[in-house]
Amino acid sequence: MLQIPTRQCFFRSILLITLLVTFNNHLSLYAQQPAATDSTTRDNHAGLSPEDSMVLKIEDIHNVLNRINNITAQGFNTQPIETGLPEIQGGLSAIDQNIALYSKVLNIRNLQTYRVLLGDMRRQLGNWRETLFGYNRDLTKMTADMNAFRNDSSIHRVLRDTAFRQLYISELQQLLSKGRQARKAINDDLQRINKLQALVSNSYFKSMELENRLNEQLRVFSIRTSGQEYASLWDARDTKENAAMLEMARKSYEGEQKIISYYFNHHKGYWFWFFLIGFIFFYWVFKGFRTIKDSGQQDVLADVHFRYLRSWPILATLVVMLNVAPFFDLNPPSVYVELMQFFLLITLTLLFWRNWPRRVFLYYWLPIFFFNLAIPVFNKTTEPSATLRVWMLAIQTLSVVFGFFFLKKARKAIELHRLVRTVTIVYIVFNILAILMNLFGRFSLSGVYGTAAILGFTQIIGMSIFTSIITEAFYLQMKKSRISGGVTAKFNYEKIKNSLDRILSVVMFIGWIIIFTTNLNFYNDLYSLFDLLLTTSRKIGTTTFTLGNILLFFAVIFIANILQKYIGYFFGETEDDFVGEVSKKGSKLVLMRLIVLLVGFLIAIAASGLPVDKVTVVLGALGVGIGLGLQNIVNNLVSGMILIFERPLQVGDFVEVGARQGRVRDIGIRSSKLVTAAGAEVIVPNGDLLSGQLVNWTLRNNHIRTELSLKLAPPDQLDQAKAIIIQEIEQIDEVLNRPAVEILITNITAAVVEIKVQVWLQTVGREQVVRSEMLNRIYNKLKENGVTVQ
């Protein structure tokens, strides 16, 4: 009778432990365990007595419970949700309040900002919901499996054995304790996750509701602004400021600050990259100036190409950072764009004050600075009076006059990008439209056009300075690399500048489009259109693809090609160097180009989204093409790789390939370039370099042996002539002392002796020059001593 309670206690214990074993099989956290573990255990237990089978099961349960308790001690990672959810709830509440109570003082820019932020919040809440749903599914499945095993008949039969229970009482007590701990942890996690899931779901549905209300307000606002909001300017009358409206505007502004703080807190990663780019650019330029100063060639710093860069490039760094800011977030709220443009305006003002002539600064930049402050301020008003609209009309008229003045005169006074002229015309057109909208009572559209015009105009000037700074930085890098490498030859900077300008113009145009369309309040629609166009899945046969993946594939290939083409500029390499004066550079640069191309190709393949089997089919088709007509191209490509790693020649080597002789200018992937002594550039396929006879005069050193053939008379003065020849040759700096000069007699007669002078020179590229100097010195000295050279 005393064993009955013990039987019940152990019965509950075994039930709990068995349930936890089953839980282990179904919990996704144990996916790393082999799938065949359970079946193997069952196979191992098959044929055993119930008591022996239970002993093995207890051993398994110990291991399983230890793993379960370790993982449940760590818990499910919900800390990011718990810390981020209150911030999103505060943002949703602020947006809800502004839309419900202060809709009369909101303009389209506020509404567009709210829409972007709501979309951002909804996506974040959606990700959290999916995470919590996954946690909930794991816990629910575990609980269901545990409940299902309570009716396991095999456990009932074993527990009826009193001897078995007495024998393993200590083990069962330990399992009971661990089982209770695991049960409590599961229940606590389930309760916490269910609570979080309810809060996240409520916020998610609220964000969707706010988006619907906001879209309706945008529709109503668009209808209202497309019509006549106020009386025409000639019929307008001054009205007193509405105190209630001003109070609503103040409270709306306070709520908006909370909303904006959410955006900047939620996108802290942008600021990390923002400052990282600034630090890298600052260090790059600073290091370049320091290297040039340490070399003692400070005259390079006075070069006309350095207009905006200084040894401490603080302002130039800020210009670079603020111009790349739009690319951090391709769908930013308008307040983010306005803040970046305000900082850019201040930075450009300081930069131009230091670098532009005072007259140019006062006539061309100061008006832009004034318009940037005045026009957006006028557009913030909620109830425009007739007087304010007249003042606004005056400023818009001055903007048009200034635009024509800038269009006509600025090109002669300031060196700006060619796109500035095009944007100046856009600036004039939109200011004229703003004037017309103001005259006919469409005040909101007038403000949008005027603001977009001046901010877009400022942005293109900032982008123009950005391209100049980047180009100057490249020029500085080339100067630094060439000085470090001992290269003093000049190079055509304008040619390099034009090449960089084409690339930077694309970046410049994209950045300006983002800013301009954002200020016109239709960037979000444009972004959605392109997003739909590029991300929609399309199917040809069994292959599914998107236009975005295809464009990304070609974009990566293009960028990789550009990088491998211009990477030499970072090491001081230019296309107009005379290679005959350059020492060997090795194949590091060629290897870097190959790596850039290979990495670019692999990234492009990954970005294309094509499955591996489809890529295999493409490579198979390429193999057929190689067999049919691409043998020579592939041969040259493979030969280029062999040249890079085997290194039978390097850049700067003096080689002979068949009848062609010259310095190696470049070793490419498909072909290499030689420069002959006459200055001709010979392009040699890499396959010819490996399959043909290649003579490398400078594989180990630059030395070369040259020969002079002389006929001297009279023969009886031969010994004196030999001494003179050796003495004159040894006085030439570019002649090696070892091996020593050798003079061989090739023929002798009664009147003339023929000799051959063999001399080793330091540099193969200087052979003809040194031969000329030797012949000149030998002839003059022998003539002075009565020896005739025939």
Query: DSSP alpha helices (H): ranges in 149-232?
Result: 153-159, 162-167, 169-226
pLDDT of res. 244: 53
Q: Which two tokens stand for residue 555?
A: 């974009």
Is the CB of residue 90 less than 8 Å from the CB of residue 176? no
User: Which pLDDT score, from 0 to 100, does residue 488 have?
Assistant: 53
The per-residue pLDDT for 282 is: 93
Instruction: Please give, one letter per residue, the 3-state secondary structure of 666-690.
Output: EECCCEEEEECCCCCEEEEEHHHHH
Q: What is the DSSP letter of 741?
A: P
Peptide bond preceding 685 in cis form (omega within 30 of 0): no
Tell me what pLDDT residue 511 has: 82
pTM exceeds 0.75, yes or no: no
Residues of the chain below pLDDT 70? 1-75, 101-109, 141-176, 178-179, 182, 225-227, 231, 235-259, 298-305, 329-334, 379-383, 484-493, 495-496, 568-589, 610-630
What domains sit in the chain, N to C, each tagged with a CATH number? Answer: 4-226 (no CATH), 267-522 (no CATH), 536-696 (no CATH), 704-789 (3.30.70.100)
Tens of pLDDT, residue by residue over 297-354, are 766 666 556 788 888 889 999 999 888 887 776 666 667 777 888 898 999 999 999 8
Nearest-angstrom CA–CA distance, 677 and 322 = 49
pLDDT recorded at residue 615: 65
Task: Give the pairing type, strands 704-713 and 694-696.
Answer: unpaired
Instruction: Give residue 658's region: left, alpha or beta (phi > 0; psi -120 to 50).
Output: left
DSSP letter, residue 363: I
Contacts of 764 (CB under 8 A, 6+ apart): 654, 697, 698, 702, 703, 704
